[in-house]
C-alpha cells in the first residue's frame, strides 16, 4: 500500500503535466479573444463541433460575440464571424497565416499524399493555365463531348425513347456530372484499345459508371477520414478503395488514354521531372480527381432540385437557354445535329449564373482555416484588435457568418433565382451589412490563397449539365409535393453539402 500511493501520485502528475503541455489548462490572456475550452479536457468542444458545426458556432457567437477561441481536439481555433473583418485574414502575410500547413495535414490524412514532395507554386501555375482562360475553353469543349456521350448516346438508336425513366435525382446528377468531369480530365478509352469509335464511347460509359460507384463509396467516408475516426472495418474498406483509385489513375494507365486534359498531362510531367515517386504520383492524381469532382455532382442535384421546386425560376432559365441556343444559329429538333455547346454560349447565361450562385449560397459550407505561424495582432473592421497565439488556427465559417445572414440576404433560407441579378439583368455585386458594402457576400469557393482554382471549370460543368437537361429532356419530380430535403449536417465544413435523402424523379428524351 505504501508503494501504491507514490505510483498513483506520479501517474496523476504525469497526466496533469501532459494536459498542461497540450493546453488543457490554458487561460485567456489580456487582449485575446474570449476563450471557451469546452467540457472535456483536451477534446474540448470537438464532439459538438462534429455533430453540427453550424449550430455549435451560432451558439458560440451568441455567447461570446463575433470572435472567440475554442478548443477542438487539443488545438485552439479562433473563429472570426464578422464578414467585414474577413479581409484582415485574407490579406495577412503567409509568414503569419499559412493555409498550406493546415491543408497538407488534411490531404495526408485523407489521401496519404505528402505534398512536401510537390511544388505548390508549380501546381498553382498549372491550375491557372488550364482551369482558367484559354485552357478552360478547350476543357469546356471536351466536357461537352463527354456529356453528349453520357446523356444523349441513345438519340436516333431506335426503341421507345419517350418512355419515362425513374431514378434518384441526387444519384443521377452526381453520377452524370462526375463521369463527364472524370473523362474530360483523365481521358477516354483509346481507339487502339477499343477497336472503333462507337466501342470507345461505350467503354467510357461503362468504365466511368463503375468508377463512380467506388468514388461515391469513398466520398461517404470523407468526413470520418477528415476527423480520423474510422472503425477497423472501415479502414480496411477505405484502403481497398484507395488502392483501386491509385491503380485506375496510375501513370501508365492515364498515359494510354486518349485526350487527357492538358491540366493532368502537365501535372504528370511536372511530378516526373521533380522525381516524385511513382506511387506518390498516383496519389496526386486521386487528389486532383476528388478536388475537381467531389463537389460538382452534389451541387448539380441542389440546382436541379431548386429549379424543379420553383416553376418561375425554371421558366426563366428555360427561356434563357432557348435564347442562347437560337442566337448561336442552332436549333434542337428531331433528327437534327446535337447542339454544339461552346464556352462562349454558356457565358451568356446570366440568369442561370444567378440561380447557380444562389444554390451555392444555400448549400456550400466550407470551413476556411489558416495556421498561425507567429504571435500576431488581428485588427477588426471596427477598430478592435486581438492577440492571436502562435500554433493556434484562425477559421472562418462563411455559411452562417455571411451566406444565411438575413441582413445581407433577406429571407436567407429561401431560394431566389434572381438574388444575384440587378433590375437591368446584370450581375449584382452590392451587398451590405451594418450599412457597409461587403467584399465577401457569398463564399462557396473560399477566398484568398485558398480560393478554389477549379471554380470556373466546376461552374462550366454545372451549367453544361443544366443546358443539356433542359434542351433534351422532359424531367419532373415523381411527387410534385416533394419537399427540398434537409442538409446532412455531418458534412459541414467540407464544401458542397449533401441531402439527408434522395428524391425520386423521372426523365425522358424530348425527341
Known binder of ligand: residue 284?
no
Smallest Cα–Cα separation from 465: which of 146, 185, 232? 146
Around Cβ 53, how many Cβ atoms within 10 Å?
21
Cα–Cα distance measured from residue 249 to residue 113, given in angstroms and rounded to the nearest whole number: 14
Known binder of ligand: residue 26?
no
Three-state SS at 339: coil
Three-state SS at 33: coil
182 exposure class (CB count in 10 Å sphere: 0-12, 13-18, 19+): buried
Around Cβ 196, how many Cβ atoms within 10 Å?
9
Known binder of ligand: residue 295?
yes
Beta strand 75-80 with 393-396 is parallel
484 exposure class (CB count in 10 Å sphere: 0-12, 13-18, 19+): middle
Cα–Cα distance measured from residue 175 to residue 168, given in angstroms and rounded to the nearest whole number: 10
Q: What element of type H or E holds 476?
A: strand 473-477
Cα–Cα distance measured from residue 269 to residue 285, given in angstroms and rounded to the nearest whole number: 12
Q: What element of type H or E holds 133?
A: helix 133-152
96: which 3 cell numbers? 503569419
If you ran DSSP here, which 8-state letter would residue 170 be given? Answer: H
Torsion angle, CA of 408/410/412/414, rounded to 10 degrees?
-150
Who's near 313: CB < 8 A, 6+ residues apart? 306, 307, 355, 415, 417
Cα–Cα distance measured from residue 320 to residue 323, given in angstroms and rounded to the nearest whole number: 5
Q: Which residues are annotated as a binding site for heme?
A: 452
Residues of the binding site for substrate = 109, 295, 393
Please give the annotated binding residues, written as ranges. Answer: 109, 295, 393, 452
Amino acid at each position: 500500500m505504501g508503494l501504491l500511493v507514490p505510483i498513483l501520485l506520479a501517474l496523476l502528475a504525469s497526466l496533469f503535466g501532459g494536459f498542461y503541455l497540450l493546453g488543457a489548462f490554458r487561460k485567456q490572456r489580456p487582449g485575446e479573444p474570449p476563450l471557451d475550452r469546452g467540457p472535456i479536457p483536451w477534446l474540448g468542444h470537438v464532439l459538438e463541433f462534429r455533430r453540427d458545426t453550424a449550430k455549435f458556432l451560432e451558439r458560440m457567437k451568441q455567447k461570446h460575440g463575433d470572435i472567440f477561441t475554442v478548443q477542438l481536439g487539443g488545438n485552439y481555433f479562433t473563429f472570426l464571424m464578422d464578414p467585414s473583418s474577413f479581409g484582415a485574414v485574407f490579406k495577412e502575410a503567409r509568414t503569419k497565416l499559412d493555409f498550406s500547413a493546415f491543408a497538407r495535414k488534411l490531404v495526408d490524412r485523407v489521401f496519404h499524399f505528402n505534398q512536401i514532395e510537390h511544388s505548390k507554386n508549380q501546381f498553382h501555375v498549372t491550375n491557372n493555365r488550364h482551369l482558367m482562360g484559354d485552357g478552360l475553353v478547350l476543357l469546356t469543349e471536351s466536357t461537352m463531348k463527354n456529356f453528349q456521350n453520357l446523356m444523349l448516346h441513345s438519340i436516333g438508336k431506335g426503341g421507345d425513347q419517350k418512355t419515362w425513366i425513374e431514378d434518384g435525382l441526387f444519384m443521377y446528377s452526381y453520377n452524370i456530372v462526375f463521369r463527364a468531369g472524370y473523362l474530360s480530365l483523365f481521358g477516354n478509352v483509346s481507339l487502339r484499345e477499343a477497336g472503333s469509335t462507337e466501342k470507345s464511347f461505350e467503354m467510357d460509359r461503362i468504365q466511368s459508371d463503375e468508377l463512380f460507384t467506388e468514388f461515391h463509396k469513398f466520398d461517404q467516408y470523407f468526413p470520418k477520414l477528415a476527423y480520423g475516426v474510422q472503425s477497423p472495418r472501415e479502414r480496411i474498406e477505405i484502403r481497398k478503395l484507395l488502392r483501386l483509385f491509385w491503380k485506375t489513375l496510375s501513370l501508365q494507365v492515364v498515359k494510354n488514354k486518349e485526350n487527357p486534359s492538358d491540366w493532368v498531362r502537365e501535372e504528370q510531367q511536372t511530378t516526373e521531372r521533380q522525381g516524385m515517386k511513382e506511387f506518390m504520383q498516383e496519389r496526386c492524381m486521386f487528389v486532383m480527381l476528388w478536388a475537381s469532382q467531389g463537389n460538382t455532382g452534389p451541387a448539380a442535384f441542389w440546382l436541379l432540385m431548386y429549379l424543379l421546386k420553383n416553376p418561375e425560376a425554371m421558366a426563366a432559365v428555360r427561356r434563357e437557354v432557348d435564347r442562347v441556343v437560337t442566337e448561336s444559329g442552332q436549333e434542337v429538333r428531331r433528327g437534327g445535329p446535337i447542339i454544339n455547346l461552346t464556352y462562349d454560349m454558356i457565358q451568356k447565361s446570366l440568369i442561370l449564373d444567378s440561380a447557380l450562385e444562389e444554390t451555392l449560397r444555400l448549400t456550400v459550407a466550407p470551413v476556411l482555416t489558416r495556421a498561425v505561424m507567429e504571435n500576431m495582432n488581428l485588427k477588426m473592421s471596427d477598430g478592435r484588435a486581438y492577440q492571436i497565439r502562435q500554433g493556434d488556427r484562425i477559421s472562418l465559417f462563411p455559411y452562417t457568418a455571411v451566406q444565411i445572414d438575413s441582413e445581407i440576404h433577406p429571407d436567407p433560407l429561401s431560394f431566389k433565382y434572381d438574388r444575384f441579378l440587378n433590375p437591368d439583368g446584370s450581375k449584382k455585386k452590392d451587398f451590405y451589412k451594418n450599412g457597409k458594402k461587403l467584399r465577401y457576400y457569398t463564399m462557396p469557393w473560399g477566398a484568398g490563397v485558398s480560393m478554389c482554382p477549379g471554380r470556373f471549370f466546376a461552374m462550366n460543368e454545372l451549367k453544361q449539365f443544366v443546358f443539356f437537361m433542359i434542351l433534351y429532356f422532359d424531367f419532373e419530380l415523381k411527387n410534385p409535393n416533394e419537399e427540398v430535403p434537409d442538409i446532412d449536417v455531418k458534412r459541414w465544413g467540407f464544401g458542397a453539402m449533401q441531402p439527408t435523402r434522395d428524391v425520386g424523379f423521372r426523365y425522358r428524351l424530348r425527341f
